[in-house]
Amino acid sequence: MKITAVLILCAGVLAVVAAAVASGVGQSPDWLPAGPARPLPDAHVAAVELPEVSLNSLDAAWRKPLFSPDRAPDQSTQGASADLAGLVLTGVVVNDDLKLALLRDGSGHALRVHQGQALPNGWTLQQLSPLEAQFAYQGQTRSLRLPAPRLPAPSRAAMLTLPPVTEP
């Protein structure tokens, strides 16, 4: 009996609240008074332009990588073989005035080569595309391509099947 009375009371309160909302109570917002007007920015002031950054100014970040724990410069690649074996193309920078190939040798040391520039082993970067770098040395040409990650092969395992259930 007590629970029934409490439920009837709750239903009554909810009915009163629903009727108040339906009649529009609380529909008009109470706005705060307007504050002082803020000055508008000058229309004749030019937007701040970013400074030009040259590749040479970024040389220290290339030689001492920011996130490397020892922050030691890359080792020189003097004494490299006269072949491109062991070199991996890791990146390409191509825009209007800059064509740059980023390479890594077998020992993990990074190299960067501008188009027309020679590697320490004598190979010269001839052409550069977004996915490939072509090198030439004494009449020979070789190409390095960016590695393209592939999806793993589909699984050959049997599909999961559920046992037949006759009753819920």
Q: How far apart are CA 2 and CA 73, in angstroms?
A: 82
Q: What pLDDT band is residue 73 in, cutting at 50, 70 and 90?
A: low
Q: Which architecture characterizes domain 84-148 according to CATH? A: Roll (2.30)
Q: Are 87 and 99 in contact (CB under 8 A)?
A: no
Which pTM does this prediction carry? 0.42
Pick 63 or 50 by higher pLDDT. 50
Spell out the domain ranges in the chain: 84-148
Can you tell me the mean pLDDT for 55-74? 66
Q: How far apart are CA 113 and CA 110, in angstroms?
A: 10
DSSP result, 77-99 = -TT--SS-TT-EEEEEEE-SS-E
Per-residue pLDDT tens over the stretch 77-108: 444 445 687 888 999 988 888 899 999 888 88
